[in-house]
């Protein structure tokens, strides 16, 4: 049912067209289904909801692509950092071992062992 406030009539909704033609009733005076749903407000609300859905889908897609790209590159960087730290620790360990050996050799010389 399409209720028109200009002439206070209920007209069968023209199903062949999405929006009712202005010859039947102007869009600002047309009410859909129940008398309190303004056709203009309904169209604006549907457009806003559809726009929000499209924007949220686009944001989700961009975010997922960004995360995927970032997660692919990150393990290589993390592995390189771990390898560098492991090598630094190994070199520090070797240096401490060499210093201990020198100290022990000095002590052995001192006491004639």
For residue 70, the model assigns a pLDDT of 65
Q: Per-residue pLDDT averaged across 56-68, rounded?
A: 85
The pairing of beta strand 2-4 with beta strand 30-32: antiparallel
Q: Per-residue pLDDT averaged across 22-36, rounded?
A: 75
CA distance 36 to 102: 95
What 3-state DSSP class applies to 95?
helix
pLDDT band at residue 104 using 50, 70 and 90 as cut-offs: very high
Q: Per-residue pLDDT averaged across 23-37, rounded?
A: 75
Q: Is the pLDDT of residue 64 over 90?
A: no
Q: Per-residue pLDDT averaged across 8-29, rounded?
A: 77
For residue 6, the model assigns a pLDDT of 78
Place of tokens 């692919």: 72
Task: Give phi and psi for 30, each to the nearest 5.
Answer: -85, 140
Residue 39 CA: distances (Å) to CA of 9, 13, 107 = 15, 12, 98
| Sequence ranges of the domains in the chain | 1-37, 39-112
């Amino acid at each position: 049912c399409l209720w028109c406030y200009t002439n206070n009539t209920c007209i069968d909704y023209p199903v062949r067209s999405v929006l009712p033609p202005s010859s039947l009733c102007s869009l600002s005076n047309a009410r859909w289904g129940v008398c309190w749903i303004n056709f203009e407000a309904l169209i604006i609300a549907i457009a806003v909801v559809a726009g929000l859905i499209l924007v949220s889908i686009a944001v989700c897609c961009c975010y997922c692509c960004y995360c995927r790209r970032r997660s692919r590159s990150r393990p290589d960087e993390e592995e390189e950092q771990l390898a560098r730290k492991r090598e630094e620790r190994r070199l520090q360990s070797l240096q401490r071992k060499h210093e201990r050996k020198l100290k022990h050799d000095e002590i052995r010389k001192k006491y004639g062992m």
